Every structure is written in C-alpha cells, then in structure tokens.
Amino acid sequence: MYLLLACLTVFALTCFSIKTLHPLAHKVGLVDLPNNRKHHVGSVPLIGGVSIYLGVLLVSSFVINLGQVFNLYLISTALVLFLGVLDDRYDLSVRVRLVAQVLIASILVFGAEAYLTSFGGILYFFEFKLGIVGAFVTIIAVIGCINAFNMVDGIDGLAGVLSIVAFASLALLFYMAGSPWFMLPLLFVAAISGYLLFNLSLPFSAFTKVFMGDAGSMLIGLTIVWLLVLGAESSRDIFSPVTALYIIAIPLMDMAAIMYRRMKKGLSPFKPDRDHLHHIFQRAGYSRLHTLIFISLAAIIMAGAGILGEMFDTPEWLMFTSFMIIFAVYNLVLANIWKIVRQVRRYKVVQRRKAKQASV
C-alpha cells in the first residue's frame, strides 16, 4: 500500500507540474517548433522531462534511502536535466553535449565507483574481464544509452513507452534479487505514465500536448544506464551484463544501425535525419499509432526474453549469440528496407482492390 501511494503521488505530481509549467514554457521559449524534420502542429512545450524529474525527485527524497550512491545519482540527473533544458532552448552543438555527458558519466564511474568490470561469460570459454578498462567502457555505455533514448524520441509516446518497458523490466529484476533499488524504476513508470496522458492526449484531447524534450530523453537514458550498471556490476550481481542488452534492445539497435548507415554515407553519426525505425514504419504506410504499437511490442518481447533468460539461468554466451543474430537480422532487413516497403505497399494496394471487388 505504501509503494502504491508513492507511485500515485508521483503520477499526480508529474501531471500537476505539466499543468503548472505549461504557460511558463511559452514565456521562456522552451517550445518545439515545426520544421523539415518535425511535422507536429504549432509550438509544443518541452516540459515533460522537467515534470517527470520533479515528480520523481520530490517523492524519492522521502521514500528512497540508498545512501551516497543515490545522492550522486540525484546530482548527475540534475546536471543532465539542466544540459537537456539548455539543448532544448538553445540547440547546443554535439561537441558541447558529448563533453558534458562524459563529465556526468564520470560521477557514476569515479564518484559512485560503479562500473562494469566484466562482460561475463559471453565468450563461452572464459569470463570476459575488463578490469580498469571497464571504467572507460562504462562511460561509453552511459553516453550511448543517453543518446539512444534521445534518438528514439521521434513520434508521440515512443520514448515514453519504450522507457516504461525498460523501467518495468529493471524494477522486476531488482525486486527478484531483493534489492531496494527496485523502487526507483517503479517511480519512473508512474511519472512517465502521467506524462503520456499529455503527450498522447489520453483519454481524450482535453490534455494539452507536451513533449519530454532532450531534457526528458537524456534523464531517462541516464537513469536506465545507471540502473543497468548497478545491476550488472559484479559486486551486486543482480543480473548478467548481457541481460542489459535485451532490456534496451530497440533503442540500442536503432541507434547503432542508424549511426552505421550515416558513417557509411560519409555523414556525422549525430546528424539528424528521418531514417529511424519509426520513420520507416510511417513511410511504409503505417499510422503513428500502429508504429507505436509494433515497436513497443518488439521492445516487450526483447525485454521479456532477457528476463526469462535471467530467470532460467540461460548461459550468457547463448543469450549474447542470440542477441547478435537478432541484431544482424535487424541490420540486414534495414539494408533492404525499401524493397520490403515496396512489397508491403503493393500488398496493401492488392488488398484494397480485393476489398472493393468483394463489396461490389
């Protein structure tokens, strides 16, 4: 009952923060305007991330007592939120964002002294130990996860739903291991659920649309990777490192694939475009709602596979090999995506013709 009350309070505080900050966002220019990549209507406040942070911060300060590591987490998230707000308002350069993200990641690695020291038994024959190199690997992982959730935030609800899948999975894994850290991802599930009411205008259009902005996607990415590192580091042994790949599979694979395609074209891996997975679904003729549903189901299946693998002690090398096969297939499909899209469009045309003939 106590935990349920905490989640309901976070939900309510997030909604209240959105309603309170909405008029302020327009006054200070913290809004997203349509352009050649963004096809929404009118200026939309970028206050979802700030509201999620306020909801979680206020409640977690009372219900979570996890010592110095949690205090350092609060400091790092405050910094990444501030970075995100500046980026939303002033569109910071990639270099500035990366330098700031490295400094923020260093709080986890060197401040909390939490970093990956091993990849586990992914190579079958022996444990893939990292040693001190793990600190730098973890910094790269933090930057990668932050940008993965930032890049996937392309259509209404997608970043929110994918993050709920990740947070719910982490809450379950920490709970099964008896770790009190399970409370933090649960609070985020409640906060993001409140945000989605406005982002998706649920259950009807009375909720004024807002976006989470870079502040929100960076906050979520940092929190998820912080929890992944805490869960996968050998001193806690909550879950194996390979399980982390399944929990964030869709954002991770989308980011890796699109960065590879950009570099193959001679472009910057951080150059914005409209070639993400959700864009491809829409070009194939699927609505935003169907795109959201399909990608979310894929994320649930991948996260579920990771959790089941953990529960049944599936060998790490088998889990890793399976993930790499899925990733290879994913890349192969994307390399031939426009051929597939043409076939899908032709199939839809044929089905419409058949439907018309049947109705005559």
Q: Is residue 74 part of a domain?
A: yes
What digits encode the pLDDT tens for the residues 303-326?
999 999 999 999 999 999 999 999
What digits encode the pLDDT tens for the residues 190-226?
999 999 999 988 765 556 889 999 999 999 999 999 9
Q: Is residue 180 part of a domain?
A: yes
* Percentage of the residues of the chain whose pLDDT score is greater than 70: 95
For residue 237, the SS3 value is coil
Whole-number Å distance between alpha carbons of 300 and 292: 12
Asked if residue 104 lies in contact with residue 111, where contact means CB atoms within 8 angstroms, the answer is no
pTM, to two decimals: 0.92
- What pLDDT band is residue 360 in, cutting at 50, 70 and 90? low
pLDDT value, residue 339 = 76
pLDDT of residue 345 exceeding 70, the answer is yes
Domain hosting residue 325, numbered range: 13-31+42-271+283-359
Q: Is residue 36 part of a domain?
A: no
Q: How many CA atoms lie within 13 A of 125 on its CB side?
A: 0
Q: Is residue 1 part of a domain?
A: no
Q: Is residue 149 part of a domain?
A: yes
Q: Is residue 6 part of a domain?
A: no
How many domains is the chain partitioned into structurally? 1
Q: Please give the average per-residue pLDDT across 6-13, as a whole number.
A: 96
Instruction: Look at 129-133, 249-253, 270-274 and tell me which has the smallest mean pLDDT.
Output: 270-274
What digits encode the pLDDT tens for the residues 146-196?
999 998 988 889 999 999 999 999 999 999 999 999 999 999 999 999 999
pLDDT value, residue 39 = 54
Instruction: Look at 183 and 331; give whichever has higher pLDDT.
Output: 183
Q: Please give the average per-residue pLDDT across 37-42, as a whole number.
A: 56
CA angle at residue 301 from 296 to 305, to 5 degrees? 145
* H/E stretch holding 31: strand 31-32
Q: Is residue 203 part of a domain?
A: yes
Asked if residue 120 lies in contact with residue 128, where contact means CB atoms within 8 angstroms, the answer is yes
By CB atoms closer than 10 A (0-12, 13-18, 19+), residue 45 is buried
Tell me the one-letter amino acid at 228.
L
Q: Is residue 309 part of a domain?
A: yes
